[in-house]
Chain A
Amino acid sequence: MRWVLCAVYLFMGALLFALPNMTRRELLFAVPVPRDFRESRAGRHAISVFRAVIACVVLAGVCAVLLSPVELLGAISLAVPAVLLLAGGITFYRQNRKLAPSAVQFSRPREAELTAGPEELPQFAWLAAGPFLVLAAAARFLYVNWDRIPARFAVHFNASGQPDRWVERTTKGVYGPLVFAAELSAWFAVMALAGWFGSRRSRSRTVMLGGMIAIEYLMGFLFALIAVQPLLGIPVWMIAVSPIAVLAPLIIVMIRKMSEPSEPMDPTPNECWKAGILYYNPNDAVLFVEKRDGYGYTLNFSNPWSWALLSSLALVIASARWVIA
């Protein structure tokens, strides 16, 4: 189990390490800069400092996981990703502030097509229904094999891979993860649609829709595996590592698609970005805008619908308490 934890931390570290390259060339630590700024002394220094911090924290985390006594492993397994994200966030913010004086304001005219026809979703949007079928199939499988499900089975495992929580074979205990996954999938489907209809027309919008549907599938399959685990005895490490197997190629595909330079950067006003991460512009009707701290989209927090979407996610997560045994 220690090696699985190390693999997860190394994956997180690799993602953070690559973060400065996971944006357009006109952005560095969410600061809009000239295209050749990365090669300048200041640009290279900012990237080096960020990567040095990430490398140190990942190395320390891996050592802590490999060398710590078993009784501390649980606490360390939670502390390492938290420290990694915190250190990454603080260093990102510090570099963002340091580079802020070098920021340039990208500006270009905006155009609107005057067609009143309804906005059509790409045909692949129907794939968003797929995860519900996966969950339904898992539920059917459990229903048919109800008698083969152990009367009491493990639902939680500690950092050493040993079970530390069990539930009885009840409707809630067996189907709970599937119901929760259906809620999550529905939320992701709503996000995908909100992203499509709440952002400006661009090719990245299609990629975002595809990415959201892919994450919906990831959730669907992951929870289907968790639900059938007591019946099929799938190794826990396989369930823990499977998201990486899906996320890694997904991230690579999204980076390739979105880094195609044919579309210019969305010229959002610099002053509306807080720390380069949060977009708050009451004078922009859009709900989703292109991110500055990586590929993808983020919410315009001045739009009330952004808070509705976040609140609904909080409700979905809170519902786990009642849905899952």
Chain B
Amino acid sequence: MEQSPRIRIDPASGVPAVRQIADGLRVLLVEGQLIPGTDLPSVRRVAMELGVHFNTVAEAYRQLASEGWLDLKHGRGAVVVERTVPAVRNGAWVEDFRNRLRGLVAQTRAQGIPADGIAAELRAMAKVVKR
């Protein structure tokens, strides 16, 4: 039996829970594990499972709705919708993306993760992105 998609948060990571939830959901949406038409579980259920406040999950859902991933219909919960990919006007994103990636790599190395391991992960990630 195929396993349902899951999101995971680490309360000890120092990253705010709302960001971890929104990021985790966005990964599943981008990778196509959550397809348009999928009903997401209620805010209450996700909040209970993750041990966070209802508002934290509601805020993450709202954030993704504002990005065009979800439709939040009152009484029906959150539904994944078809999203129009925004047009990119220039190459400004490269600088921004590079800075964020460098920051993440630096943070990971500071935690003691070897550079070889990080490089291998980035190569694997590049393959996934190309697909």
Contacts and interface: CB of A to CB of B under 8 A. Distances in A.
A114 B7 contact: yes
Interface residues of A, number: 24
A199 B51 CA distance: 10
A282 interface: yes
A114 B34 contact: yes
A267 interface: yes
A201 B6 CA distance: 13
A286 interface: yes
Interface in A258-306: 267-269, 282-287
Contacts of B116: none
Give the most central of A110, A111, A119, A267: most B CB within 10 Å: A110
Give the most central of A198, A269, A285: most B CB within 10 Å: A285
Given A111-B8, A116-B41, A267-B11, A282 B53 contact: yes
B65 interface: no
B4 A114 contact: yes
B51 A119 contact: no
A287 to B, nearest CB: 8
A112 B46 contact: yes
B48 A200 contact: yes
B50 A114 contact: no
B45 interface: yes
A111 B54 contact: no
Give the most central of A199, A269, A283: most B CB within 10 Å: A283
Nearest to B25: A114
A255 B39 CA distance: 38
A233 interface: no
Contacts of B77: 116
Given A119-B45, A285-B44, A112 B50 contact: yes
A107 interface: yes
A107 B11 CA distance: 7
A285 B10 contact: no
A283 B51 CA distance: 7
Contacts of A119: 45
A119 B42 CA distance: 11
Nearest to A115: B4
B124 interface: no
Contacts of A287: 48
A112 B41 contact: yes
Contact of B48 (A108, A198, A283): A198
Contacts of A268: 51
A110 B51 contact: yes
B119 interface: no
Interface in A97-127: 107-116, 119
A199 B5 CA distance: 20
Contacts of A110: 8-11, 49-51
B52 A283 contact: yes
B6 A114 contact: yes
Given A111-B8, A114-B34, A199-B48, 17 more contacts: A108-B10, A110-B8, A110-B49, A111-B7, A112-B7, A112-B46, A113-B41, A113-B49, A114-B6, A114-B28, A114-B41, A198-B48, A201-B49, A267-B11, A284-B51, A285-B52, A287-B48
Interface of A: 107-116, 119, 198-201, 267-269, 282-287
User: Which 4 A-B residue pairs are closest in the complex by CB-CB distance?
Assistant: A116-B39, A285-B47, A112-B49, A109-B10
27 contacts: A107-B11, A107-B12, A109-B8, A109-B10, A109-B11, A110-B8, A110-B10, A110-B11, A110-B49, A111-B6, A111-B7, A111-B49, A111-B50, A112-B6, A112-B7, A112-B41, A113-B5, A114-B5, A114-B28, A114-B40, A115-B4, A268-B51, A283-B53, A284-B51, A284-B52, A285-B54, A285-B57
